[in-house]
Amino acid sequence: MVQTTSDPPWLSLPAEISTVLRPVVRDIVEAIIEGIPRGVPVYAMPMEGRFGQGVRQGVTVALNRFLDLPGTRLDALSPDGKWIYESLGRGEVRSGRSLESLLAAYRYGARVTFRAISRLVDVSQMSPDVLLSLGESLFAYIDEISAASAQGYAQEQSERAGEQQRLRAELLEMLLRGDSSDGGPARLAAAVGWTLPESVVVALVPFPHVEGLRAGLGPEGLVAERGTDVVVVFPSSSGLRRRRELERALAGRRAVVGPPRPWQQAGESLQLATSAGAHGIGRPLDAEPGGAVGAVGAVGAGATVWVEDHLAELVVRAEPLATDDLARRRLAPLEGLRPLVRARLTETLLSWLRHQGQRTPIADELFVHQQTVGYRVAQLKQIFGDDLDDPEVRFELELVLRAGHR
C-alpha cells in the first residue's frame, strides 16, 4: 500500500508494536517524571500534590493514547486528551510560566520515551524502518500535544485579557461616579494592577480615532466606551512628563483632555472635557482634521485640546468649574499671603485691571492715596512678575476677580 502525504506517520507502524510497548508504559512514565525536573529546570519541584498528579496524568494519558495509534489513521488526540493538554496550557498561564517551558517538557518527554523504549524493549527484533517510523511518529504526536497546549495557553491569555479589560472599565466607571465607598476603587485597582494616583485627567476620544489607543496609552491608561466617544482616565502630576506621555498617545486623535483632579473627583474632569468638546473649545472654525490653524487661539483640528489651557473660553460660557480652575491657576502667586494682605491686594488688582492702571480712578474707588495705589501695584508686579504685562493673563485675572474669587 502506498502511503499518501495526508496519512499520519503512525499508519506505517505495525499494530503489534503496541503489544510490545504497553507492559513498559509505567516504567516510561516514571522515567519521565523523574527526569523532567532535571531536564527542564523551571519544573525543578517535587512531583507532588495537584501539580504532580497533573503531570503524571498527562504523561500516562499521552503514552496510552500513542499506543492506540500504530497501524491506524486515528487523530493524535481524542477529545478528552485534547482537553487535558489544553488545560495544561491554561495552567501555565495561571502559574505565570511561559509556554516554552511546557513545550520543552514535552520534547524532553519524547526523548526520554525513545531512550526508555531502546532500554526496556529488545529493539533488535525491529527493522530500521520501524524504528525510524517509531521516532517520527513519536515526535509528530508531541507536535499535536504541543499545539493543543498552545491553543489552551492562548485561550486563557485571551480570556484573562478580556476579564482584565472588563475590570479596568469597571474601575474607570467607578472613578467617574466618584464612588469611593468601602475602599472599592482601591481593591479593584489592586486587582487589575493599577495604582491609584493622587490626581488624574479624563480625556474624550471620538470613535473614528481610537485604533491602537490602548496600546499607545499602555497599562497606566484606563479606557472604556461611552456613547460616541471613548473615555480615558490617565494619571496626572504637576510635572510635564505625564502630559507629554499622554500627548504622544493622543496625537492626531482629536482628543479633549479635562483638567487634573484628585481621583475622587474624576467626574469633574470629564464634565469639563465634555463641555469643552460640546462648545468646540480650541478647535479651528474652518479647518479640516489635521489642517492649519483657523481661529485665533485655536489648534489644528486633529490636535489634542487641553482644557486647562482654554479655561477662560469656558468661563465666558459660564462654566463654574472652569472658573474655579482658572482662579486657582491665576491667583496661585497670592498663596501664602495673610488673608488681610491678600484681600487688599486682590481688591487693588481688580481696580487696576478695570481702570487700565490709571491711579486717580483707582485711588478714588478704593478711598486711598495715589501713593498707596503705587505701592500696592508695585507689590503686585513683584508677585506676578511679567504675567501682568500679558494681555491674556490680565483678561483672565479680571474674569476670575469679577466672578468673586479672591
| SS3 assignment for 347-397 | HHHHHHHHCCCCHHHHHHHHCCCHHHHHHHHHHHHHHHHHHHHCHHHHHHH
Residue pair 70/17 in contact (Cβ under 8 Å)? The answer is: yes
**Tens-place pLDDT, residues 349-358:** 999 999 999 9
User: Does the pLDDT at position 127 exceed 90?
Assistant: no
365-399 tens-digit pLDDT: 999 999 999 999 999 999 999 999 999 999 999 99
| Cα distances (Å, whole numbers) of residue 55 to 32, 142, 156 | 10, 15, 19
pLDDT band at 296 (very low <50, low <70, confident <90, very high): very low
With a cut of 80, say whether residue 32 has pLDDT above it. Answer: yes
Cell of 122: 529488545
Average pLDDT, the chain: 87
Rounded Cα gap, residues 110 and 138, in angstroms: 7
CA of 164: how far to CAs of 121, 159, 185, 289, in Å?
A: 51, 8, 15, 33
What average pLDDT score do residues 273-279 get?
A: 91
Which is more confidently placed, 352 or 228?
352
Question: Is pLDDT at 57 greater than 60 in this prediction?
Answer: yes
The per-type count for the chain, helices as H runs and strands as E runs, is: 16, 6
State the pLDDT at residue 47. Answer: 67
- Cβ–Cβ contacts within 10 Å for residue 232, how many? 28
| Residue 288: pLDDT over 50 | no
How far is residue 285's CA from residue 42's CA, in Å, rounded to a whole number? 62
- Evaluate if residue 191 carries a pLDDT over 60: yes
pLDDT at 46: 67
Tell me how far apart the alpha carbons of residues 70 and 9 are, in angstroms, rounded to a whole number.
Answer: 9
- pLDDT, greater one: 271 or 54: 271
Query: Does the predicted model carry a pTM greater than 0.75?
Result: no
pLDDT confidence of residue 208: 85
- Is the per-residue pLDDT at 227 higher than 90? no
Q: Using one digit for the tens of pLDDT, what is the confidence trace for 41-56?
A: 888 776 667 777 777 8
Name the burial class of residue 369, with classes exposed (0-12), middle (13-18) and buried (19+) by CB atoms within 10 angstroms of its CB.
exposed
Angle between helices 128-177 and 49-66 (to 10 degrees): 140
d(CA 62, CA 84): 10
Over range 267-282, report the average pLDDT.
91
- Average pLDDT for residues 307-335, to the nearest whole number? 88
Helices within 178-281 (DSSP H only): 184-191, 213-217, 241-250, 266-278
Length of the chain: 406
Please tell me which residue, 166 or 182, carries the higher pLDDT value: 166
pLDDT at 287: 42
Amino acid at 68: D
- Residue type for 93, please? V
Predicted confidence (pLDDT) at residue 186 exceeds the cutoff of 70: yes
pLDDT of residue 295: 36
Q: With the C-alpha atoms ordered 239, 240, 241, 245, is the resulting torsion angle positive or negative?
A: positive
Question: What percent of the chain has pLDDT above 90?
Answer: 52
User: Does 300 have pLDDT greater than 50?
Assistant: yes
